[in-house]
Structure 1
């Protein structure tokens, strides 16, 4: 098995183990005795002492994998237990492919209550001539040091028998074992490319370490012996942990600039983002998986402390049809947009992800949305999507509560539409009068209907609606089609806010928040995959998890001087 594949499998396994227990979670009764609902019993990963402060990514499972396996099988319906067991066995087998080892016999007896995977650096040798050499580290807690040493002995014996040259090295009192392949000359570079070289170590009686190069292991040991280097001694990281709940079964840490460098293969840009680190605490909920988040500011950056703006969902949600699979709602859209756009400017990949849908709407309506719309939305707003069966592109609609300058802003939008050659007309939907921006087109009549006089051929005049808007009470409503507007006007009879699926999707989130971003994954995932191919790749990699996803809800909980809190709830079926 290729070494990179081995580490990707380990990383994927940590992620999947965090999620494998929750596939059938909603079957749990209201008074479940399962202790995992109260967390794994460990507040933070001890292995953070091996991880540098500038690590792009660290993901930790803070509960013994056997407990998750038992949990998954216990909550699965009788008819699903065979499938659940198969998924678990496939995961175990993927870890030890081509090793000749058995999980239950060789690993399970010593496996402890923490498994941490980290990308320690985007380039561990910092040599531009041989490209980026990413450092991977896996730290596994051991509950039986003697058995874990026996495991490593057997592990390396099999490689020695296969003809691999082994190196035994004492480094800072720790015994390192690693293979020593010959470097492969690169005719394009005078410097030989470092070859992947699996390295292992047992640190005290607590952890078994795996890395993809001895340099990565040495750096991990240095981080322990010089505590100022490690993530566990980062003041901002510790502060974030204090703001997050202690009932987690897992924790993730992301250094945003370093992650961007790793993914894009480029050095970090001079553009400074207001945020540098993200810490995520993962908890089990009766309906799925709750991720409590803390975004930490970059050095020298300060936020204006702000409490959550809302104590209940905004009234604009009354206009959102229950059939809308994607909805964003909150207050003060201009402030939200300014904060969001400033936050992602330094990261091209994320910036493109956010700006692409906005650019499509701007192209259809021919307006600068941040300047012409967002600037006057100071109060409630809601944005939604409605799929269409007759065309691949969905309809969009937007609801905003009136504020000072709203009437003038709507008149200005009408003027822009007319300047672009669109006609402004009135259309009545039920009892509601609306204003439509239409584009008039002519089409030659079909040949059988043409008159014999070729100089007087018949034409058909049609009006294509480019946008439509109206006022209902204190709200301005915009839509991309008549059909979408009609659904919005009728939504008060069955709004998303009263839908049981939506209610359950927001139930685990705090009442005091800044709004919601809600996705009904079952309805919208195909559209998301079409627009963002990377999502399709993620689904393929984590199929056993995505098959169980019902919905996804994101919320923000306000900010302090150097961090912003929020949450993501993944509801599962």
Structure 2
């Protein structure tokens, strides 16, 4: 976000600013939320304190990023952060969408603005002057309620005389005819409208301790229209909720959204003819949005790396979507190192919640019906009742290194799936029926077999010739294990030699996340990247990739979890980063 408002400042093509006379309500360096109306739909806050961002340089990822910015940005922009921006930059910056007035339509450009704290007005003026000579547009100045607003109009870019089509066809000359027939009904790719490609205009206003930036003057005027003493966002109980978060003062980035106010604004944006791409309103479930009062998010630094948390607060407490917490019973059975894993509980319950959401949208409802019909046509089984209906316990899906099984000989990967059930007979019936369906589809090329007493387990397999492509066994009366072949599954029995639950990387990635929770999603970046690089060693060993590999390789893992109560839904994520090289 720092780069966002910095780039916006550079786009000002600036002019010198004079100190205007301001209403009394704007004369103090108040927190940004006090400037904004109480019904502001969206506010994003960035803490720009130097010490906070310098602290991140202890991680190799940010050390690399800072080095790149210092080397690349000055060359491209004639800009140096230390000398051009740091002298005037205050301790906070923000972006916001101004609320929609009554039923009036509003465009994206007429709603969005940036506010940046200024600690040294003279340094800011000097910064603006240094870019004044680069301006090719005439800037006009006018007064609005005692505040000087400087603005310049957008100018069209020089475009080719040949008007591009509204959609781009896929390049199909080298694709098989059978493939093209299958995708003939897919929509073409939209391209931006020619009249939407232009140098956007800009408007700015300098307030005591803040500079306000927007594409047009309208959102700035709306900000200044807020009556003295009127209700502001800082007084909004929903916004106050995020300010009471224990990490609020430490957050690098904070997000607040009123989903209902933003939905109204979003619908207005969809009518804006200047947008380069259409907004698909049909994909938004209004009834779902209306269940929530506010959505908030924070990003902060912790010893392992960067932590993210999102909270969606309900208007009315509800237990409708609250699933039983995951007890991590299956974690000791997962292998380490794994490329990645996802754990949780009650797949059937999660599927039913998803079906409810999809069926509330006519477009998605039709797609879901077609999908279910396709599954039934192929397998003779009903997706909800037969395939997912018995998956009501904990589950774990994981990818792990192995040289055995369906996808392992060349790719060195196995896929495993544990799932618990209270209806084992139904699960066994489904697997048997599925095996018979696959036999029929393969015209007898696939056969089924049973291997008795392998490490004490009876393993059922599907085989094509001598290649085992699918295997499953019961770990206990309620726990089924499925994997990609006999060889791959035997590496997991009776337990893997190294357990993910005891793995240092996994423990580091999850120990600070909330517990109990609905399960984890975990990606081991080290092993995953090594696997990706092994797929095309010539390409990834190319010198052009080395800088990228060095940066992405400093990310050790990414893990997430969700926690659901009657009052809110919470998402937590942790990016574990390697320390900076000395």
> Offset at 1:544?
8.6
Is residue 555 of structure 1 aligned with residue 555 of structure 2?
A: no
Q: What is the aligned-residue RMSD (CA, Å)? A: 5.0
Separation (CA, whole Å) in 2 of partners of 1:10 and 1:345:
42
Q: Which residue of 1 aligns with 2:490?
A: 486
Aligned to 1:265: 278
Output the CA distance in 1 between the equivalents of 2:300 and 2:240: 19
Contact 2:375/2:382, CA 8 A, preserved across alignment: no
1:418 match: secondary structure: helix
For the 8 Å contact 2:525–2:555, the answer to whether it is kept is: yes
Whether the aligned pair in 2 keeps the contact of 1:111 and 1:140 (CA below 8 Å) is: yes
**Kept in 1: contact 2:525–2:553 (CA 8 A):** no
Conservation of the 8 A alpha-carbon contact between 2:345 and 2:394: yes
**TM-score, normalising length: structure 1:** 0.68
Q: 1:305 to 1:148 in 2, by over 3 A?
A: farther
1:218-268 per-position Cα deviation (integer Å, ceiling 9, x unaligned): 34444687967x765655444455456434232134658649978963242
Say if 2:88 and 2:124, in contact at 8 Å, map to a contact too. Answer: yes
Q: Residue 427 of structure 2 aligns with which residue?
A: 409
Structure 1 425/244 Cα, relative in aligned 2: closer, same or farther at 3 Å?
Answer: farther
**Distance between the aligned counterparts of 2:253 and 2:156, measured in 1?**
38
Q: Could you say which residue in structure 1 is the equivalent of 2:308? A: 291
Structure 1 counterpart of 2:52 = 68
Equivalent residues of 2:70, 2:80 under 8 A apart:
no
Deviations 1:444-469 (A, max 9, x none): xxxxxxxxxxxxxxxxxx15544321
| Other structure's SS at 1:265 match | coil
Please say if residues 244 and 293 of structure 1, whose CA atoms lie closer than 8 Å, have aligned partners that are also in contact. Answer: no
Alpha-carbon shift at residue 295 of structure 1 (Å) = 2.0
Distance 1:72 1:515, change over 3 A: closer
Partner Cα separation in structure 2 for residue 168 and residue 437 of structure 1: 76
- Kindly report which structure 2 residues correspond to 1:455-466, keeping only aligned pairs within 5 A, or say none: 462-466=465-469
C-alpha distance in structure 1 between counterparts of 2:532 and 2:303, whole Å: 27
How far apart are 1:85 and its partner, in Å?
5.4
Of stretches 483-492 and 467-476 in structure 1, the one that deviates more from structure 2 is 483-492
Where structure 2 has 5 or more consecutive residues not aligned to the other structure, the ranges are 11-29, 164-192, 402-406, 440-445, 535-544
Q: Distance in 2 between matches of 1:145 and 1:113?
A: 14
> Once the 2 structures are TM-superposed, how far is the Cα of residue 288 of structure 1 from its aligned partner?
0.7
Give CA-to-partner distance per residue, 1:404-438, whole Å, 9 cap, x none: x2222222221232134254320243432111234
Aligned residues: 480
Matched with 1:328 is: 342
Higher helix share: 1
Residue 151 (structure 2) aligned to one of 174, 178, 181: 178
Contact 1:148–1:208 under 8 Å retained in 2: no
Instruction: For 1:502 and 1:266, locate their aligned partners in 2 and report how far apart those are by CA, in whole Å.
Output: 39
Q: Secondary structure at the match of 2:318?
A: coil
In structure 1, what is the equivalent of residue 524 of structure 2?
520
Q: Which residue of 2 aligns with 1:397?
A: 416
Please point out which of 244, 248, 251 is paired with 1:248. 251
| Residues 1:87 and 1:192: Cα distance change in structure 2 (over 3 Å) | closer
Distance 1:349 1:541 in 2: 44
Match of 2:138 in 1: 165
The alpha-carbon distance between structure 1 residues 552 and 328, as it changes in their structure 2 partners (threshold 3 A), is same
Match among 95, 115, 118 for residue 93 of structure 2: 115
Which residue in the other structure is 1:304 paired with?
A: 319
Q: 1:217 to 1:85 in 2, by over 3 A?
A: same
